[in-house]
Amino acid sequence: MPPKKAKASAKDPQLDPAPEPVPEPAPEAAKVAPLPDPPALVAEAKPALPPIVENLLAPEFFATEAQSISLIQGMISIAFSSSRYDYSQTPSVLKKVTVSRIVMSPAGAQSLAVRLFAFLDQKGFGAAPKDPKQRQ
């Protein structure tokens, strides 16, 4: 007859090892903050636009045309002129006189162009004529 096997005792450490000790939770200061979402997945918040402050004393100019547009040191410069008669000569001579200039960043000039074309289209003027002789 084969020998009988001994029953395993509940206290036998080889057969029933003690459970692993559970580590204590870290104090609040030692906890690691979760990683933020990757920038590609986070929707970019648009910055709030600053309020408009109306200056009732701002200078106002009348111009009959944009005389020239140039790029100077990365900035867009638009010179405006007005047709005026020079009465110091006889007979008087019609001249174009520069009355003002606006200097803007390229982004500002692009925004101006888009908004100006949208305004002209809304008022029924449409796109600019391709032939400069059609301008008035």
pLDDT of 44-87, one tens digit each? 677 888 998 999 999 999 999 999 999 999 999 999 999 999 99
Token digits of residue 25? 């939770």
Instruction: Confirm whether 67 is domain-assigned.
Output: yes
Instruction: Confirm whether 108 is domain-assigned.
Output: yes
Integer angstrom CA distances of residue 60 from 55, 99, 124? 11, 10, 25
Closest CA to 75 of 107, 100, 105, 101: 105
pLDDT of residue 62: 93
pLDDT single digits (tens) 83-115:
999 999 899 999 999 999 999 999 999 999 999
- Of the two residues 109 and 132, the one the predictor is more confident about is 109
Instruction: Confirm whether 19 is domain-assigned.
Output: no
Instruction: Confirm whether 135 is domain-assigned.
Output: no
Range of the domain at 108: 62-125
pLDDT of residue 76: 97
- Of the two residues 9 and 123, the one the predictor is more confident about is 123
What's the domain count of the chain?
1
Is the backbone peptide bond immediately before 19 cis, with ω within 30 degrees of 0? no
Tell how far CA 44 is from the center of its chain: 10
Instruction: Confirm whether 35 is domain-assigned.
Output: no
Distance, CA of 100 to CA of 62 (rounded, Å): 9
Integer angstrom CA distances of residue 32 from 16, 29, 41, 120? 36, 8, 22, 57
pTM of the model: 0.54
Is residue 35 over pLDDT 80? no
